[in-house]
Amino acid sequence: MRSLVAIGVLVGSVLLSGCGQVTGDAAASLPPPPDGTRWAGMGQVVVAVPDWWTTGETKCYEPNEDTVYFDPSVTSECVDEPEPSTVREVSALAVLDSTSGYGENEVRTMKPIGELAGRQVLERQTCEGWFDGVCRRLFAVPSEGVVFAVTIAEEGDGSYEEIRDSLRILPDGQTTVPLAIGSGWTPTWGAEPDVTAVLVDSLEDAGLNVEFDTAEPPERSDTGLYADLPKGSLLGVSPQLGSVIDVGGTVTVTVAGPRFDAKR
């Protein structure tokens, strides 16, 4: 974990008064994120997170390193569930669907804190009892179908308030690379070829173009062999999932070589 340059209030985006009220207008263009951060989100809504946070690094829908991911708000029977101590040691941005299930229930408990570009912003006033020993703070833009849940493990990862205050609505002509695929989760490095195919479908369904690159995975890592990854396993997505992209833009999907046909 590295030091995070404090995220200042973004002029023309989100202004917080002493009472914590959010106000702001839509921007004509999205400015660069604050130093040391990157934009991440879903649909037309983004926030600035530390740029060293990964994307989709979870086990059993729980983060196992500092990361950004879609939280389907479901439980799974998992033999490789991360230790509670691991979850307590990571910082993360989870994105939930505010229109159904757990996300919708959370929105009902939130209170308005202002408006951003004509959209009401809500916030949970207390921590969510999400995981033993972990304080997860939530805010939402219900009209955009998005809830953000933030966990901060240590001061060097910034703060919930900094992430909340960076909230932006994307201008016309921009969107985000889908963060959730298939039944609603975020794939990461090493995902199997069938998952890569679902990812490609999700990108194309979002109106984005897909280009392929192939690469040989490294022979091994500190934790084991990589050379045995099946052809077509996911090695990278650029721009990464949840990042800002022009409407109709191109996403490069890197897969384990030498050849891969994503069409099923």
Which tens digit of pLDDT belongs to each residue from 7-37?
A: 333 333 443 433 344 555 545 679 999 999 9
Residues 168 and 203 placed together within one structural domain of the fold: no
Cα 182-247-163 angle, rounded to 5 deg? 75
Q: Are residues 236 and 198 in the same domain?
A: yes
Shared domain for 83 and 110, answered yes or no, is yes
Is residue 7 one of the residues assigned to a domain? no
β-bridge partners, 214? 255
What's the domain count of the chain? 2
Please, where are the H alpha helices in the chain? Answer: 84-88, 101-108, 160-165, 193-205
Token output for 256? 């384990």
Residue 220's pLDDT band (boundaries 50, 70, 90)? low
The pLDDT, as a whole number, for residue 2 is 39
- Per-residue model confidence as pLDDT tens digits over 140-192: 999 999 999 999 998 888 899 999 999 999 999 999 999 999 878 999 988 99
The domain boundary residue, chosen from 172, 191, 212: 172
Q: Is residue 8 part of a domain?
A: no
pTM: 0.84
Among 105, 139, 172, where does a domain finish?
172
Distance CA 254, CA 161 (A): 35
Give 141's strand partners: 146
CATH number for the domain harbouring residue 249: 3.30.10.20
Contact 172, 48 (CB under 8 A): no
- Residue 212, in any domain of the structure: yes
- Residue 171's contacts (CB-CB under 8 Å, 6 or more residues apart) are 26, 27, 28, 29, 30
Residue 258 is encoded by which pair of tokens?
């030498």
Residue 231 in any domain: the answer is yes
**What are 99-149's pLDDT values in tens digits?**
988 999 999 999 999 999 999 999 999 988 777 778 899 999 999 999 999
Comparing CA positions, the residue from 106, 124, 185 lying closest to residue 160 is: 124
Whether residues 106 and 82 share a domain: the answer is: yes
Does pLDDT of 194 surpass 50?
A: yes
Would 44 be classed as within a structural domain? yes
Residues 27 and 114 grouped into a single domain: yes
Task: Report the SS3 class of residue 48.
Answer: strand
Work out whether strand 92-97 and strand 67-70 pair parallel, antiparallel, or are unpaired. parallel
Tell me whether residue 94 is exposed, middle or buried, using C-beta atoms within 10 angstroms of its C-beta: 0 to 12, 13 to 18, 19 or more: buried
Question: Do 125 and 192 have their domain in common?
Answer: no
Distances in whole angstroms, Cα of residue 139 to Cα of each of 15, 49, 252, 262: 15, 15, 31, 37
Residue 69 structural domain: 15-172
Farthest CA pair distance, the chain: 57
